[in-house]
Structure 1
Amino acid sequence: MDSKEINDGLHQRIKQEKTIEVNKVNEDKHQPLSNEKIKTTMSVEEVREQMQKLREDTINQVDEHLQDMVSKIVEGIQCIETNKYEKYYNDKKKVVEGDVLSEKEFQVRNSMLTDLCNEVNHLRALSNICVTVLFILTVNTAVDDYATTGSLQLGFTTLKLGFNKFSYVVSMWLKMMMFSIGVYIAYTVWAQKRMKLSPKSNKIKIWDNSWLFLFIIYQIAFLIVPSKFIMENNLPPPSACVILMEQLRILMKIHAFVRSTVPSIISYKSHTENNKSPIPGFSNFLYFMFAPTIVYRDNYPRTKEIRWRFVAWHFFQFSMVLHVMTSMFERWVIPTYKNYGLEPFNLQKFILRYFNTVLPGSIIFICGFYGLLHTWMNACAELLRFGDRLFYKDWWNSVTYARYYRTWNVVVHDWLYFYIYKDFYENIVPRNKLVAICSVFFISAIFHEYIIGFSLRLFCPIMLLTFGGLGFGLVFLTRRNTSIFGNIFLWFSLITGSGFLICLYSMEYFARINCPKRYDNIYDLIIPRFLLCYEDDMR
């Protein structure tokens, strides 16, 4: 046999075997399965189902774990952000425990703008934009000065005239500080004598009431003497304003010192306190008199060292802000109102004057905040290594007037809260929030008007009416507002309101220079003269 025949035989045999296998498979398909085959088939299905179930369970568990991990990461980030900014808001608890309000907690922390400018590049860019705008306004002022006077004034004329009697300011400030030290000496005499008296002695009541009467006399005299000094020496408004602000600062500090320490003197018992005197040392008192706070503590958190570059930079910023404010007055406010009362009344011109004052008024308002509450306070705090720099909060984000008043000036707000509101709520009119709030607004409005009135030497109670009346009402009208429109309304009212205040006070100031007297009695003092300048023209 040749090879071709052999190959053909092999192919035919293979074909026959394949045919037999196919037939066998077809027969198996039509035959019933045996028990063993059924068991084998069922076990495979069960394994497949279990594997599918295991796969689903595994996927679900992994998904749950991933969700938990993501949630924990997000919570951690939120916690970090909360803790990062919580230091600005946990200075005192808002919860009222029974009838007693909580106390302020001091801690080491920067001012809000200090941290924001260091951490947020966008805010730093916004700050650079503001500097650029102020620079352009300065150039505008310089060009106007040169065009009108042939020289560059740049606000220095206003500064020179405003502080040409600065030696009087220094003299009065030194006298006020000496009187304050005298109060500490008198307080020490009262405390030492009282601790020696028997608690059951009738002399204690006489002793306490006598010194309380003297303390009230001191407070009244401390209000009268500096204001009389200003009127007698005819101090210009900036110099007068410095004296009056220092007068109220010292007066509030003395009240805070006495109010905070007297209870420990009254409750002192020598046989139970190991003869440790509760009288604060003179160094504690002296530090408090210069510290940038008006809430008294025996000790405050302190920083480790003085950063002299920080001090120099903030004092430099303060001088620049003061320059911008005086330039605004010299360039926009004074030329607009200096002839008030010399020309016939014109409603269109009056409206134009007001709108010309809105922009410089808003710049003066913001510069006043930044210059006093940020640059000056931070520089003084650094010099004294005072750790708590919470002089303000993010008032610019407020959507209600209640929050704005709490965050705009934290230093003054703390004093009003702890020494006025707290005393009224706990002792004078227990658990009556409305009376406590009214007392805070009334006292604050009175002293705001007091500073403006004696600085300008006039009585035109615009601040008293707007702050104590309209401002008080807006607290209740906006207290439930949570939308962005509340913040828009706040800024609109602040910008237009600052222009309104500068407008009316400038009109009254120059009216008393340009307009003749209509009365020679008390009416000339209490009736705003800008209302009488055009009385004949309006008839």
Structure 2
Amino acid sequence: MKENGVRSRHKNGKQNGVQKHEDERKDEEFSIRQSPLTELIDSSLHIRAIYHIFVVILIILLCDTVIYDLVERGKINIGLSVIAAGFGDIRRGLKLWVYDLCVVMAFYPLLVVYAAIGKYTRKYTVLRPAVVLLGIAGVVAVEVAIAAVPVVELARKHLELGSSVAVTCEMFRFLMKIVAVSSACGPRCLNGHLPLPTFKHYVYFMFSPTLLYRDQYPRTNKIRWGVVVFHLSEVAAIIFYNCFLWERFIMPYWSDYGKEPTVEAGYLVRGMFACVLPGVISFLCGFYCVLHAWLNAWSEMLKFGDRLFYEDWWTTSRFSLYYRRWNRVVHSWLRDHIYLPLAPLTGRPLATFTVFFVSSIAHEVILALSFGFFYPVLLVEFGVLGVIMVPLTATSGRRFPSAFNLIMWLSFFIGNGILWSLYPMEYFARRNCPPSENDSFFIPKSWTCPEVILKPNWTFQNPLRILLD
């Protein structure tokens, strides 16, 4: 069953050839289908067992912490304090989100006014360039209005990490949605060949789990509220799980970082390797939470039929395929609104680089506003090393798929271990180190405080010496 969100201007629902072309494109992009993990968990006892293993790991870690803290300290500490602190001042975050939502809702009447201007000036071809520029200026103004207030407000006064991530991610989601609507409806306002969407369909698109605008989407017949509750329960459990990992494995190593003037290099190395496994678990849980549980919950509530939000990225041996499959929602938007328009003008390599650059900057803005400092670790890993790995694995990944799938997973482990070490080190260094006149939003404080030293009288000992003797 499909819901048509377009005002009918033609009898018996007939549309012209342009609409037919758009419907064909829509059918290629959207269809009723389940998420890969939903199909795997439902159809494979092996995958279901792996899912149960992750649940059991959470239960065992939880029991370990509860019993140890109860016996050792007489209290229970299971990550709830991290959740409360991470989503602190949630009212302020909600106000920023409501502001962005109001701007987005106000865009629809502006679109209707622009369509009226386009209709009035249609017979005056000399005015067409001015009308086009007016539309572009209007979209830019709305985009600036969506981004400016949250960015300025978060830069003025830091919001806690969880609340900041939610606000900035929603900000970028609204920005991309406005671009999608403008690209689809802008030509309609000028030529009048197709009607604008209804306000109901416009609102539906703003909350639907896609960034590509279509006049209609494949719909399911009913809402299965049991599925909604199950997925939302998974989201809550994973948030708790990640906060538990932070409190159980990250804070013991890095919460005191910067309180002493020096730190031994061996301690840093041990801490960074200790963060590898929690980092990868958090990486996988974050993927499952956002791209599977959260989006499937919203799809079920909105009866959105196409739930292919990702593909089997975990089996690939080429980084180009990983970037396409990891997040199809964002990848499809980047493809349609950046890569495809640029590729004929600049060539595929420059268009690809632009996609990576824009995506990297967006990720870095989210992290910088959320943490309260600029530390481009993810930018280097994703926007530099990731780009380099794309051509390096393009051919070799096809020839040696097993070996390069192993290499890809090795890079995930190492990369997440580095992320879960360097960002906490900088986060706590800015809180524990004494203030300095050289403190800056853009200069990492953890590079100078504390001082990293080797053990006294440290010397290198040849591990092969015992064989030589």
Q: TM-score range by the shorter chain?
A: 0.7 to 0.9
Give the residue type in structure 2 aligned to 1:527: I
Residue in 1 that maps onto 2:220:
303
Residue in 1 that maps onto 2:446:
530
C-alpha deviation, 1:147, in angstroms: 5.0
Residue in 1 that maps onto 2:258:
341
Q: Report whether the alignment pairs 1:436 with 2:354.
A: no
Residue in 1 that maps onto 2:268:
350
Residue in 2 that maps onto 1:27:
none
Q: Helix, strand or coil for the counterpart of 1:300?
A: strand
Of residues 404, 408, 417 in structure 2, which corresponds to 1:499? Answer: 417
- Correspondence 1:223-302 to 2 at 5 A: 223-268=147-192, 278-302=195-219
- Retained in 2: the 8 A contact 1:145–1:154? no
Distance change (3 Å), C-alpha of 1:332 and 1:144? farther
Q: Report whether the alignment pairs 1:370 with 2:285.
A: no
**Aligned partners of 2:122 and 2:214: how far apart in 1?**
28
The alignment yields a C-alpha RMSD, in angstroms, of 1.8
Q: Report whether the alignment pairs 1:380 with 2:304.
A: no
Of residues 51, 61, 64 in structure 2, which corresponds to 1:140? Answer: 64
Q: Helix, strand or coil for the counterpart of 1:388?
A: coil
Report % sequence identity. 34
Residue in 2 that maps onto 1:35:
none
- Retained in 2: the 8 A contact 1:256–1:295? yes
Residue in 2 that maps onto 1:462:
377
Distance change (3 Å), C-alpha of 1:433 and 1:139? same
- Retained in 1: the 8 A contact 2:180–2:212? yes
- Retained in 2: the 8 A contact 1:111–1:392? yes
Residue in 1 that maps onto 2:466:
none
Q: Helix, strand or coil for the counterpart of 2:427?
A: helix
Deviations 1:336-376 (A, max 9, x none): 11111122121100101101111111111010011111111
**Aligned partners of 1:306 and 1:537: how far apart in 2?**
60
Deviations 1:60-93 (A, max 9, x none): xxxxxxxxxxxxxxxxxxxxxxxxxxxxxxxxxx
**Aligned partners of 1:537 and 1:516: how far apart in 2?**
19
Unaligned 5+ segments in structure 2 are 1-24, 455-469
**Aligned partners of 2:443 and 2:223: how far apart in 1?**
51
Of residues 352, 357, 367 in structure 2, which corresponds to 1:452? Answer: 367
C-alpha deviation, 1:494, in angstroms: 0.5
Q: Helix, strand or coil for the counterpart of 1:345?
A: strand
C-alpha deviation, 1:149, in angstroms: 4.5
- Retained in 1: the 8 A contact 2:32–2:219? yes
Give the residue type in structure 1 aligned to 2:317: V
Distance change (3 Å), C-alpha of 1:325 and 1:536? closer
- Retained in 2: the 8 A contact 1:398–1:404? yes
Flag as ranges the 4+ runs of structure 1 deviating above 4 A. 535-538
C-alpha deviation, 1:156, in angstroms: 0.8
Unaligned 5+ segments in structure 1 are 1-101, 270-276
- TM-score scaled by structure 1? 0.76
Of residues 308, 316, 319 in structure 1, which corresponds to 2:233? Answer: 316
Distance change (3 Å), C-alpha of 1:149 and 1:215? farther
- Retained in 2: the 8 A contact 1:303–1:385? yes
My pick for the range that moved more, 443-452 or 147-156, is 147-156
C-alpha deviation, 1:317, in angstroms: 1.2
Residue in 2 that maps onto 1:85:
none
- Correspondence 1:143-154 to 2 at 5 A: 143-146=67-70, 149-154=73-78
Higher relative CO (Cα under 8 Å, sequence separation at least 6) belongs to 2
**Aligned partners of 2:74 and 2:166: how far apart in 1?**
32
- Correspondence 1:14-163 to 2 at 5 A: 105-146=29-70, 149-163=73-87
Give the residue type in structure 2 aligned to 1:369: F
My pick for the range that moved more, 333-342 or 406-415, is 333-342
**Aligned partners of 1:186 and 1:356: how far apart in 2?**
53
Of residues 394, 403, 407 in structure 1, which corresponds to 2:325? Answer: 407
- Retained in 2: the 8 A contact 1:142–1:152? yes
**Aligned partners of 1:332 and 1:535: how far apart in 2?**
23
Q: Helix, strand or coil for the counterpart of 1:502?
A: helix
- Retained in 2: the 8 A contact 1:109–1:389? yes
- TM-score scaled by structure 2? 0.87
C-alpha deviation, 1:144, in angstroms: 4.2
- Between the two proteins, the alignment pairs up a number of residues equal to 425
Give the residue type in structure 2 aligned to 1:208: V
- Retained in 2: the 8 A contact 1:162–1:238? yes
**Aligned partners of 2:83 and 2:361: how far apart in 1?**
27
Residue in 1 that maps onto 2:244:
327
- Retained in 2: the 8 A contact 1:518–1:524? no
Deviations 1:266-321 (A, max 9, x none): 3335xxxxxxx521111111000000011110110000000111111111111111
**Aligned partners of 2:185 and 2:340: how far apart in 1?**
16
Give the residue type in structure 2 aligned to 1:359: L
Q: Determine which structure has more spread, i.e. the larger CA radius of gyration.
A: 1
Residue in 1 that maps onto 2:20:
none
Residue in 2 that maps onto 1:78:
none
C-alpha deviation, 1:261, in angstroms: 2.0
